[in-house]
Each structure stands twice: as C-alpha cells, then as structure tokens.
Amino acid sequence: MKIAIVGPIESPMRPNSVGGTEMWTHQFAERLAQKGNEVTLFGAEGSQFSGNFVPICSHDDIADKKTGALAKQRFAVFSIEEMLALLKRLDKFDLIHVSYYSFHYFLPFVQLIDKPIVETIHGSPMDYDDLEILFEKYQKPFFVYPSESMFKKWPAPKNYQIISHGIKTDQFLIDPNASRDYLFWMGRIVEQKGVEDAIRVARETNSKLIIAGPKNELAYFDRAVKPYLNDNILYVGELNQTEKIKFYQSARAFLMPVKWEEPFGLVMVEAMACGTPVVAYGRGSISEIVKDEATGFVCEPDNLAEFSRAVEKINHLSAEEFKKMSKNCRARVEEKFEFERMVEGYEALYRKVLGGM
C-alpha cells in the first residue's frame, strides 16, 4: 500500500519523543514501512523517519517567543500548509491517515480528496456541539478512537472503530534490581497534565519526585514548577528512550494527576510495562488502562488527599506486595496493549476502507 500519514507539526516525531502523539505516529509509520508499505510522513521539521518525509515547519515557527506556548494563528496557518502539501502529492497515495490532535483543520479538505481517509483521534480542542456538527457535515473519514471513554464522550461519526494504542513491550522491561525509591512524572509541562498536583503530593508524602518533559509553556513552568525544585523535587529535562526506560524502571510509582479527559496516555502503559504502578485521577481513559488496586490506584479527580493516600499505600507495600503489583502491571500491558495487535487492527481497517467498506 502507498500510505500518507499526516502527523503533528507541534514537535518532531522521533523514537524518543515525549509527546505521546508524536511518538505513536513515529512508531506506527516506521512499522508500516518495515512491513513493506510505501509510507510518506508529513510533520514537524527535525522528525526522524526511514521512509519519505515531508517537513512542514519547525517548532519555533509556531511557538510564542515569550511563553513557548503555541501561537494559535501561526499554528492554524501551518496546519493548512500541511494539508496543501498533501494535496500536491495526492496522486502518489492509496490511502490517507491523519494522526494529530487538531484534526479539525483537515476536515474541510476531505472534499478535495478522492482516496480513503482514516483519522486517529488523539484528542480535540473542540466541544461536543462543535464535533456533532462537523461529524454530520464531514462523513467521509473513518475515525479511530483509542479508548472507549473517548468514544462515549463524543458524538458518534458515521464511520468509526475503537483500536487501543499499544507499545513494543520488548523495549519496556522490569528491572528486578531497580531502586524503586522515587515518584515519577513525565509529559508535556502544561497545565492540563497536572504536574502541579504531582509536586503537591510529593511534598505532602515527603517523597522524592522526578519530573521530566519539554517546557512547552515556559511561563507555566516558571510559575508552577521552578519555584519548588530542590534536592527532593528534581527536573531532569527531556529524556531519550534509554533514559526514559531507566526512570520508569526505578520509580516506585508513576503519577498521572491529569486535569483533562485523557484520551489514552501512553506513558501509563510504558510505566506499567516496566512494572511501575500508576496513581491517577480517574479522567478519560484512565480506568481503562489502570486496574484499581491491582496495577495502581484510580482516584477521584482533583481529590489531592485521596491521591496522596494512594501514593502512601504504594510507599508502604512490602517487597512481596510490590512485586505482585509490579507483575500485575506487566501482565495487563501484555494482555491489552501490545503494539503488534494494534498495527494488525489498523491493517484490517485499511483493507476494509480500500475495499469500499
């Protein structure tokens, strides 16, 4: 198959991308290419891909110079530029796969595309009413939801399927000799990811906390994170794949105090594959990934006291109790979130849409 994958422009797609959408898109595109497909990837400058790559813009092109946050108007312009780059090459492809958060920029262009379109939904800044209207107007794409919770939260488009994200479990292993002596938080350092609550919990439980990830919003980092950094609360920057896995393996728990309806959350799956329990607010897909009291704890959203108690429970597990929970984490990922199972699901969908459904 000749496949165009329209990826995110916010930051590069690489093996060690911190952003879940960037990493997912990179790994998925590479696997399709390895399986003999002719894949062209569109996205941010600096991306790494073994197949054909079409760069659209750099992060600096769409970032506010003072805050580091997305400059929304420039982001809109370059999102449209990405669509135009696709249209110029449309005759080269059998199928178009859209894989980024702000997919609404793409919808008006479906009227110009005479190829099957698959769209993985990684989230959206739009509300229910907006999506209901757009799904009614633009019925051609086949939408894929990564979780049941996301599908239930949104209006149903004409064509849809649920395919859970997956990871390569052979890359994320349990280290039986790891220290397990700190809490770990990793992600884009923006308000919706809840790093502020992770810091509060670490202070409340007198636990060491490691924070990792890109400073996507510099003003937010300076206000919510920087003042609290000390010998017990450390910021270690962006991590490559090897570094990330080591931090997962040595963590006592991975914290996910999200402030939004998390569409999936690959970092939770990666942590659990390394045998690390997850403590999270029960928003979005959290309860589909974390099995409460077996692979961690799912807490009432914004209930900081309950979240802290859950962390304390993990801190006070005996060696045998922690080992059991760690094995539960690994088993759940192997059962539910294997990468190859996910890829096979998409390949079956490709065949379906290419056959005219």
In sequence order, what DSSP letters do the residues of 35-100 get, joined into one string? TT-EEEEEE-TT---SSEEEE---HHHHB-TTT-SB-HHHHHHHHHHHHHHHHHTGGG-SEEEEES
- Mean pLDDT, rounded, of the chain: 94
244's CB contacts (< 8 A; 6+ apart) are 16, 186, 212, 270
Closest residue by Cα to residue 213 from 249, 188, 250, 248: 188
Closest residue by Cα to residue 335 from 282, 271, 289: 289
Let me know: does 239 contact 184? Beta carbons within 8 Å.
Answer: no
Q: Are 324 and 288 in a shared domain? A: yes
- Assign residue 96 the CATH number of its domain: 3.40.50.2000
Q: Are 74 and 35 in a shared domain? A: yes
Look at residue 169 and tell me whether its pLDDT is greater than 60.
yes
Q: Are 72 and 159 in a shared domain? A: yes
**Pairwise CA distance, residues 2 & 200, whole Å:** 49
Look at residue 357 and tell me whether its pLDDT is greater than 60.
no
Q: What is the pLDDT of residue 331?
A: 98
Q: Are 63 and 155 in a shared domain? A: yes
Q: Are 46 and 72 in a shared domain? A: yes
Neighbours of 20 (CB within 10 A): 24
Look at residue 16 and tell me whether its pLDDT is greater than 80.
no
Q: Which tens digit of pLDDT belongs to each residue from 108-145?
A: 999 999 999 999 999 888 889 999 999 999 999 999 99
Q: Are 196 and 295 in a shared domain? A: yes
Q: What is the pLDDT of residue 43?
A: 97
Q: What is the pLDDT of residue 69?
A: 78
Neighbours of 345 (CB within 10 A): 16
The enclosing H or E element of 142 equals: strand 142-145
Q: Are 41 and 82 in a shared domain? A: yes
Closest residue by Cα to residue 328 from 288, 279, 290: 290
Q: Which tens digit of pLDDT belongs to each residue from 221-277?
A: 999 999 999 999 999 999 988 999 999 999 999 999 999 889 899 999 999 999 999
Q: Are 348 and 299 in a shared domain? A: no
Q: Are 125 and 181 in a shared domain? A: no
Q: What is the pLDDT of residue 126?
A: 87
Domains of the chain: total: 2
Let me know: does 47 contact 26? Beta carbons within 8 Å.
Answer: yes
**Pairwise CA distance, residues 102 & 54, whole Å:** 19
Neighbours of 280 (CB within 10 A): 29
pTM, to two decimals: 0.86
291-313: average pLDDT: 98
Q: Are 293 and 155 in a shared domain? A: no
Q: Are 116 and 176 in a shared domain? A: no
Q: Are 65 and 151 in a shared domain? A: yes
Expressed as residue numbers, the domain containing 34 is 2-166+338-354
Q: Which tens digit of pLDDT belongs to each residue from 185-212?
A: 999 899 999 999 999 999 999 999 999 9
Q: What is the pLDDT of residue 15?
A: 83
Q: Tell me the Cα Rg of the chain.
A: 20
Look at residue 278 and tell me whether its pLDDT is greater than 90.
yes
Q: What is the pLDDT of residue 88?
A: 97
**Pairwise CA distance, residues 317 & 313, whole Å:** 6
Look at residue 20 and tell me whether its pLDDT is greater than 90.
no
Q: What is the pLDDT of residue 214?
A: 87
* Residue that is written with structure tokens 């192997």 in the block: 334
What percent of the chain lies above the pLDDT cut of 90? Answer: 84
